[in-house]
Amino acid sequence: MLTGEIIGKTITNIYSFEKMEVGGLDKGECFIELENKIIIDIPYGFSDYIWIKELDKDAVSLFADLSDYSVNHVNKDNKTIIEIADNYQLQRRTIFNRLSKILFGRDIAIKDYQPYKIDYIENKLKYIKDRKIVDFIWYADESEKGFILFDNGYLITDTAVAPHGTGNAGLNIYESINDLTNAKGNDYFKLTDTQSIR
Protein backbone atom coordinates (compact mmCIF):
# COMPACT_ATOMS: atom_id res chain seq x y z
CA MET A 1 0.00 0.00 0.00
CA LEU A 2 1.37 3.42 -0.91
CA THR A 3 1.82 5.78 2.03
CA GLY A 4 -0.35 8.42 0.37
CA GLU A 5 -3.26 5.96 0.25
CA ILE A 6 -3.82 6.26 4.00
CA ILE A 7 -4.94 9.90 3.60
CA GLY A 8 -8.72 10.04 3.96
CA LYS A 9 -8.97 6.59 5.54
CA THR A 10 -10.74 6.13 8.90
CA ILE A 11 -9.02 4.48 11.84
CA THR A 12 -11.39 1.88 13.24
CA ASN A 13 -9.22 0.14 15.83
CA ILE A 14 -5.75 0.00 17.33
CA TYR A 15 -4.40 -3.26 18.69
CA SER A 16 -1.36 -3.39 20.91
CA PHE A 17 1.05 -6.03 22.09
CA GLU A 18 3.36 -5.02 24.95
CA LYS A 19 6.05 -6.89 26.84
CA MET A 20 7.49 -5.45 30.05
CA GLU A 21 10.96 -6.39 31.21
CA VAL A 22 11.73 -5.22 34.77
CA GLY A 23 15.16 -3.60 34.89
CA GLY A 24 15.47 -3.78 31.10
CA LEU A 25 13.54 -2.53 28.12
CA ASP A 26 9.80 -2.49 27.52
CA LYS A 27 8.69 -3.50 24.03
CA GLY A 28 5.51 -2.54 22.24
CA GLU A 29 3.96 -3.08 18.86
CA CYS A 30 0.82 -1.47 17.46
CA PHE A 31 -1.49 -2.72 14.75
CA ILE A 32 -3.52 0.10 13.16
CA GLU A 33 -6.83 -1.00 11.63
CA LEU A 34 -8.20 1.10 8.75
CA GLU A 35 -11.79 0.99 7.50
CA ASN A 36 -12.43 -2.29 9.40
CA LYS A 37 -10.44 -4.00 6.64
CA ILE A 38 -6.67 -3.79 6.78
CA ILE A 39 -4.04 -3.66 9.48
CA ILE A 40 -1.02 -1.42 8.86
CA ASP A 41 2.22 -0.53 10.57
CA ILE A 42 3.48 3.02 11.05
CA PRO A 43 6.73 3.29 9.06
CA TYR A 44 10.06 4.55 10.37
CA GLY A 45 10.68 8.00 8.92
CA PHE A 46 9.30 8.34 5.43
CA SER A 47 8.63 5.37 3.21
CA ASP A 48 6.81 5.19 -0.11
CA TYR A 49 5.01 2.13 1.19
CA ILE A 50 3.05 1.25 4.31
CA TRP A 51 3.50 -2.31 5.51
CA ILE A 52 0.27 -4.32 5.76
CA LYS A 53 0.50 -6.60 8.82
CA GLU A 54 -1.11 -9.70 10.24
CA LEU A 55 -2.70 -9.13 13.64
CA ASP A 56 -0.70 -10.81 16.42
CA LYS A 57 -2.82 -13.35 18.32
CA ASP A 58 -1.77 -11.77 21.66
CA ALA A 59 -2.59 -8.18 20.64
CA VAL A 60 -5.51 -6.53 22.43
CA SER A 61 -7.80 -3.76 21.25
CA LEU A 62 -7.05 -0.38 22.79
CA PHE A 63 -10.56 0.73 21.82
CA ALA A 64 -12.29 -2.01 23.85
CA ASP A 65 -12.85 0.38 26.78
CA LEU A 66 -12.73 4.12 26.08
CA SER A 67 -13.87 5.23 29.54
CA ASP A 68 -11.68 7.50 31.64
CA TYR A 69 -9.22 5.99 34.15
CA SER A 70 -9.74 6.28 37.90
CA VAL A 71 -6.76 6.93 40.17
CA ASN A 72 -7.25 6.12 43.85
CA HIS A 73 -5.23 8.14 46.34
CA VAL A 74 -4.40 6.28 49.55
CA ASN A 75 -2.34 7.00 52.66
CA LYS A 76 -3.16 10.70 52.99
CA ASP A 77 -0.52 11.16 55.69
CA ASN A 78 2.32 9.71 53.54
CA LYS A 79 3.26 7.12 56.15
CA THR A 80 5.81 4.46 55.32
CA ILE A 81 4.71 0.82 55.03
CA ILE A 82 6.49 0.05 58.31
CA GLU A 83 4.63 2.89 60.09
CA ILE A 84 1.30 1.63 58.76
CA ALA A 85 2.08 -1.99 59.76
CA ASP A 86 3.24 -0.97 63.27
CA ASN A 87 0.13 1.18 63.80
CA TYR A 88 -2.09 -1.69 62.63
CA GLN A 89 -0.45 -4.13 65.07
CA LEU A 90 -0.97 -1.66 67.95
CA GLN A 91 -4.65 -1.21 67.04
CA ARG A 92 -5.19 -4.99 66.77
CA ARG A 93 -4.01 -5.43 70.37
CA THR A 94 -6.52 -3.05 71.96
CA ILE A 95 -9.24 -4.71 74.09
CA PHE A 96 -12.03 -3.33 71.91
CA ASN A 97 -10.54 -4.73 68.72
CA ARG A 98 -9.73 -8.11 70.30
CA LEU A 99 -13.34 -8.41 71.52
CA SER A 100 -14.57 -7.41 68.06
CA LYS A 101 -12.43 -10.18 66.56
CA ILE A 102 -13.84 -12.76 69.01
CA LEU A 103 -17.48 -11.66 68.72
CA PHE A 104 -17.69 -10.82 65.01
CA GLY A 105 -14.73 -12.77 63.60
CA ARG A 106 -13.17 -9.86 61.74
CA ASP A 107 -10.03 -7.81 62.11
CA ILE A 108 -9.99 -4.06 61.86
CA ALA A 109 -9.52 -2.55 58.42
CA ILE A 110 -6.27 -0.82 57.58
CA LYS A 111 -7.66 2.64 56.85
CA ASP A 112 -4.35 3.89 55.46
CA TYR A 113 -4.91 1.62 52.44
CA GLN A 114 -8.44 2.83 51.75
CA PRO A 115 -8.90 5.58 49.13
CA TYR A 116 -9.49 9.05 50.48
CA LYS A 117 -9.75 10.67 47.05
CA ILE A 118 -10.40 9.51 43.47
CA ASP A 119 -9.23 11.43 40.40
CA TYR A 120 -10.10 10.66 36.81
CA ILE A 121 -7.67 10.79 33.89
CA GLU A 122 -9.17 11.33 30.48
CA ASN A 123 -8.74 8.46 28.02
CA LYS A 124 -7.41 10.23 24.91
CA LEU A 125 -8.10 7.18 22.75
CA LYS A 126 -11.72 8.29 22.47
CA TYR A 127 -10.45 11.17 20.29
CA ILE A 128 -8.72 8.74 17.90
CA LYS A 129 -11.45 6.18 17.22
CA ASP A 130 -13.27 6.67 13.90
CA ARG A 131 -11.19 9.72 12.91
CA LYS A 132 -10.02 10.39 9.36
CA ILE A 133 -6.32 10.50 8.55
CA VAL A 134 -5.35 13.85 7.00
CA ASP A 135 -1.56 13.61 6.88
CA PHE A 136 1.57 11.65 7.70
CA ILE A 137 4.44 13.48 9.46
CA TRP A 138 8.02 12.36 10.01
CA TYR A 139 11.40 13.64 11.14
CA ALA A 140 14.73 13.11 9.40
CA ASP A 141 15.78 10.63 12.14
CA GLU A 142 14.89 7.30 10.54
CA SER A 143 15.27 5.43 13.84
CA GLU A 144 11.87 6.79 14.95
CA LYS A 145 8.49 6.02 13.48
CA GLY A 146 6.42 8.69 11.78
CA PHE A 147 3.19 10.23 13.04
CA ILE A 148 -0.35 9.82 11.72
CA LEU A 149 -2.29 13.12 11.85
CA PHE A 150 -6.08 13.05 12.22
CA ASP A 151 -8.78 15.52 11.22
CA ASN A 152 -9.20 16.69 14.84
CA GLY A 153 -5.48 17.56 15.20
CA TYR A 154 -4.47 14.50 17.26
CA LEU A 155 -1.42 12.48 16.22
CA ILE A 156 -0.28 8.95 17.01
CA THR A 157 2.98 7.09 16.68
CA ASP A 158 4.35 3.77 17.84
CA THR A 159 7.50 3.31 19.93
CA ALA A 160 8.97 -0.18 19.64
CA VAL A 161 11.40 -0.07 22.60
CA ALA A 162 11.67 2.17 25.67
CA PRO A 163 13.29 2.01 29.13
CA HIS A 164 11.21 -0.01 31.60
CA GLY A 165 8.58 1.93 33.50
CA THR A 166 8.53 5.03 31.28
CA GLY A 167 5.25 4.06 29.62
CA ASN A 168 6.62 5.04 26.21
CA ALA A 169 6.69 1.59 24.58
CA GLY A 170 3.69 1.07 22.32
CA LEU A 171 1.20 3.73 21.27
CA ASN A 172 2.06 7.41 21.88
CA ILE A 173 -0.58 10.15 21.48
CA TYR A 174 -0.08 13.88 20.88
CA GLU A 175 -3.03 16.25 21.16
CA SER A 176 -1.74 18.65 18.50
CA ILE A 177 1.16 19.48 16.20
CA ASN A 178 2.13 22.08 18.80
CA ASP A 179 2.53 19.31 21.42
CA LEU A 180 4.59 17.32 18.93
CA THR A 181 6.90 20.23 18.08
CA ASN A 182 7.35 21.04 21.78
CA ALA A 183 8.60 17.46 22.28
CA LYS A 184 10.45 16.84 19.02
CA GLY A 185 11.13 20.19 17.32
CA ASN A 186 9.90 22.00 14.21
CA ASP A 187 12.00 20.27 11.56
CA TYR A 188 9.33 17.76 10.49
CA PHE A 189 8.10 16.84 7.02
CA LYS A 190 4.49 16.42 5.92
CA LEU A 191 3.38 13.97 3.29
CA THR A 192 0.84 16.44 1.85
CA ASP A 193 3.62 19.03 1.35
CA THR A 194 5.87 16.58 -0.48
CA GLN A 195 3.02 15.36 -2.67
CA SER A 196 2.26 18.91 -3.83
CA ILE A 197 5.93 19.33 -4.81
CA ARG A 198 5.97 16.20 -6.98
| Statement: residue 185 has pLDDT above 60 | yes
Measured between alpha carbons, how far is 99 from 157 in angstroms, rounded to an integer?
59
* Least reliable range by pLDDT among 6-20, 126-140, 163-177: 163-177
Kindly tell me the number of DSSP H helices and DSSP E strands found in the chain: 4, 12
Using the predicted structure, report yes or no on whether residue 198 has a pLDDT greater than 50: no
The mean pLDDT value for 173-196 works out to 90
Sign of the dihedral through C-alpha 19, 135, 67, 121:
positive
Q: What is the pLDDT of residue 22?
A: 76
pLDDT of residue 92: 66
- The pLDDT tens digits of the residues spanning 60-77 come to 999 999 998 888 767 777
pLDDT, one tens digit per residue, over 122-158 is 999 999 999 999 999 999 987 889 999 999 999 999 9
In terms of pLDDT, which residue wins out, 49 or 113? 49
Q: How far is CA 127 from CA 22, 26, 152, 174, in A?
A: 31, 25, 8, 11
Mean pLDDT of the region 106-116 = 65
According to the model, what pLDDT value does residue 163 have? 78
Torsion-angle region of 165 (φ positive above 0: left; ψ -120 to 50: alpha; else: beta):
left
The number of angstroms, rounded, from the C-alpha of 110 to the middle of its chain's C-alpha atoms is 32
- H-run or E-run covering 87: helix 81-92
Q: Where are the domains of the chain?
A: 3-65+126-197, 70-120
Q: How many angstroms from the chain centroid is the CA of residue 171?
A: 6
